[in-house]
Amino acid sequence: MIMKSFLIVLLIIFTNFNQNTNKVLVFSKTEGYRHESIETGVQTLIELGRENSFEVTHTENAEFFTDNNLKAYDLVIFLSTSGDFFNANQEQAFEKYIKNGGNFMGIHGASAGEYDWAWYGKLLGGFFLDHPEKCNATIKRVNDTHQSTKHLPEKWTRYDEWYNYKSISPNIKVLLTLDETTYKGGKNGENHPIAWCQEFNDTRSFYTGLGHTIESYSEPEFREHILGGILYCLKR
Sequence spans of domains, the chain? 22-233
- The architecture that CATH gives domain 22-233 is 3-Layer(aba) Sandwich (3.40)
Distance separating the N- and C-terminal Cα atoms of the chain:
39
Q: From 97, 113, 92, select the one nearest 29 (Cα to Cα).
A: 113
Using the 8-state DSSP alphabet, how is residue 200 labeled? Answer: E
Q: Which of 15-24, 163-172, 207-216 has the lowest mean pLDDT?
A: 15-24
Query: What confidence score (pLDDT) does residue 200 get?
Result: 85
Whole-prediction pTM: 0.92
Q: What is the pLDDT of residues 72-111, one digit of tens each?
A: 999 999 999 999 999 999 999 999 999 999 999 999 999 9
Mean pLDDT of 186-196: 97
Res 103: pLDDT: 98
Q: Residues 116-135: pLDDT tens digits?
A: 999 999 999 999 999 999 99
From the number of C-beta atoms within 10 Å of its C-beta (0-12, 13-18, 19+), residue 176 rates as: buried
CA angle 129, 203, 47 (to 5 degrees): 75
Q: What is the pLDDT of residues 47-77, one digit of tens each?
A: 999 999 999 999 999 999 999 999 999 999 9
Q: Which residue blocks in 72-181 are alpha helix, DSSP H?
A: 88-99, 118-124
Q: Name the 3-class secondary structure at 122.
A: helix
d(CA 227, CA 132): 27
- Residue 201, pLDDT score: 81
Give the pLDDT confidence score for residue 104 in this predicted structure.
Answer: 98
